[in-house]
Amino acid sequence: MSDKQLVLDVIQRLPANATLEQMRERVEFLAALKTAEGSLDRGEGVPQAEVERQFAARVKRWHSKSSGRLKR
């Protein structure tokens, strides 16, 4: 399916009262997905295990920075 046909299909699926903002958001989302897909096709993706490792490290760092400021 061409990019144009993909966009037309997505817009046709929106409710009749969809705003231009909602349409723009859908088209931008589709464009981001196509960009990401291209990156993966070129082997530029990050393996899932690495994403999980980086995420865990950032959460740990965030908790250590905010641990003295949170009141529960």
Supply the DSSP string of 36-65, one letter for each residue.
Answer: HHHHHHTT----HHHHHHHHHHHHHHHHHH
Nearest-angstrom CA–CA distance, 20 and 35: 22
In a domain, 31, yes or no: yes
pTM: 0.61
Q: Find the domain containing 53 and state its range.
A: 3-66
In a domain, 72, yes or no: no
In a domain, 9, yes or no: yes
- Calculate helix-pair angle for 20-41, 3-13, nearest 10 degrees: 140
Mean pLDDT of the chain: 90
- Please count the helices (runs of H) and the strands (runs of E) in the chain: 3, 0
In a domain, 71, yes or no: no
Structurally, the chain folds into a number of domains equal to 1
In a domain, 30, yes or no: yes
Question: Tens digit of pLDDT for each residue in 4-28?
Answer: 999 999 999 999 999 999 999 999 9
